[in-house]
A and B are shown apart, each in its own frame.
Chain A
Amino acid sequence: MTPDDFQKLATLLKSQSGLVLGPDKSYLAESRLTPVARNWGFPDAKALIRALVRREGKGGDSKLLLEVVEAMTTNESFFFRDQRPFDQLRDVILPSLLTSRGTNKRLRIWSAACSSGQEPYSIAMILNDMQHKLRDWRIEIIATDLSRPILHRATEGRYTQFEVQRGLPVTLLAKYFTQDGDQWRISEQLRRMVTFKVHNLLDGPGTLGRFDIVYCRNVLIYFDQATKGKVLEGIAANLADDGFLTLGGAETVLGVTDKFKMVDGQRGLYARADGTATALKGAPGAAGQTGRVGAA
């Protein structure tokens, strides 16, 4: 693949999916696109990209483009990834929302760019373990991704032995999974708690409705500043006044948007700058235990 081919691929992906390919990703593109090229009868990744660009000039080949986007989308995911965002859900976010929503008892949670489903199922496990407090609540978990094949996997809820050992405590494996050949299948109860939908983050959450909790982790890092801002502002516009946003460990709103502020003492957890979300007094990590939403 020549630098020119790679540049054309990068331009196309940026316009269609917001995915930013740095110049160091040429090898990744070659290795991920070679199998796609073979499936489509092209001799190599270079020929595939040239065909894609040619067809783009004639109205585009959406099926081929979708496969290329899916191949280039990073699907690395594991249960309870980084742990902290899930501790915050149990110890900070839910206690706050259970208090502020005591009357209508409804929550909508969005797991954006959910990949093969480990994040929304981790959320479902936490909610299920708190069911004594949530008995008469109506809670929806909407999990979205750009890639149909990866969502199909997520919906099936089948994981390899390697996948169920990354981040998932064995007690939860024993509680929520059954063995199915050489794979492990998540319980029907948890599968029913999550609704999976195809969705492009660049389209904003508008069609998905309003949310109280948004997990948008380890995906903004692949976007440029302008795209990050667009995505975050879309989320802010569809986040409830008392809602929370969780970003990945290497992500921040700083210098991207002023629509969010970090929740005091809670790394990676944000609330709307003009909102009312609070971490309750005594929440783990809250500086001075004031529980206010502080400056980012």
Chain B
Amino acid sequence: MKCCLIVDDSKVVRMVARKILEALQFEILEAGDGQQAMQACEQTMPDAILLDWNMPVMNGIDFLRQLRQHAGGDRPVVIFCTTENDMAHIQEALGAGANEYIMKPFDSDILESKFAQVGLL
């Protein structure tokens, strides 16, 4: 079973994403900000990370840059999932090492389609 870390400061978003991804046979870990996500990755490096951009303590893009520098941090497939829905943010995310990008609001079709595109399904 593949493991996905959902990083979002919204409990509701985490709950919705968890429900969709559990139905796709993922084991789910959760984090409420980038710092918590980094701690989770230091314990267990997940196969995939669904990552919000704007969060307290440490935002998504700073987390991603730290992750990619970390030992084994090049392995997880990172999919941004954010309300930042403009080309500048998309380019910045790709430049920092994101594999895919979801613009909120999303639905189960989009989530499934993106996970399939990056070879997680």
Within the complex, the shortest CB–CB distance from A214 to chain B, in Å, comes to: 25
- CB of B112, distance to nearest CB on chain A (Å): 10
Task: Report the minimal beta-carbon distance from B89 to chain A, rounded to whole angstroms.
Answer: 11
Residue of A nearest to B98 (CB): A170
When the two chains form their complex, are residues A165 and B106 in contact, meaning their CB atoms are under 8 A apart? Answer: yes
Interface residues on B, range: 10 to 19
Residues in A with CB closer than 8 Å to B86 are 179
B110 within 8 A of A: yes
| A83→B98 CA distance, assembly (Å) | 21
List A127-175 residues whose CB lies under 8 Å from chain B: 161-162, 165-167, 169-171, 173-174
Q: Pick from B94, B102, B107, B110 the residue with the most CB of A within 10 Å.
A: B110
- CB contact between A178 and one of B85, B87, B109, B110 (< 8 Å): that residue: B87
- Say which residue of B91, B102, B109 sits within 8 Å of A174 (CB atoms): B91
Query: Given the complex, which residues of B lie within 8 Å of A174, measured CB to CB?
Result: 87, 90-91, 94
Given A161-B103, A165-B103, A170 and B90 contact (CB-CB distance below 8 Å)? yes
Do residues A166 and B113 form an inter-chain contact, with CB atoms below 8 A? yes
Taking CB atoms, residues of chain A closer than 8 Å to B117 are 167, 169
Mark interface residues in B89-121 (1 if CB within 8 Å of A CB, else 0).
Answer: 011001000101111001101100110110000
Contact for B90 among A78, A166, A167, A173, CB less than 8 A:
A173
- Complex CA–CA separation, A162 to B110 (angstroms): 8
A167 and B113 contacting across the interface, CB-CB below 8 Å: yes
Complex interface residues of chain B between 49 and 72 (CB less than 8 A to chain A): none
Please name all residues of chain B whose beta carbon is closer than 8 Å to the beta carbon of A178 when the two chains form the complex. 87
Known contacts A161-B103, A165-B102, A165-B103; decide if A170 and B110 are in contact (CB<8 Å): no
Most buried by B among A165, A174, A179: A165
What 0/1 readout, one digit per residue, does chain B (70-92) give for beta carbons within 8 Å of chain A?
A: 00000000000000011100110
Specify the chain B residue showing the minimal Cβ separation from A171: B94
A sample of 20 more A-B contacts (CB under 8 A), given A165-B102, A165-B113, is A78-B113, A83-B116, A161-B85, A162-B107, A165-B103, A165-B106, A165-B110, A166-B109, A166-B110, A169-B100, A169-B117, A170-B90, A170-B94, A170-B98, A170-B100, A171-B94, A174-B90, A174-B91, A174-B94, A179-B87
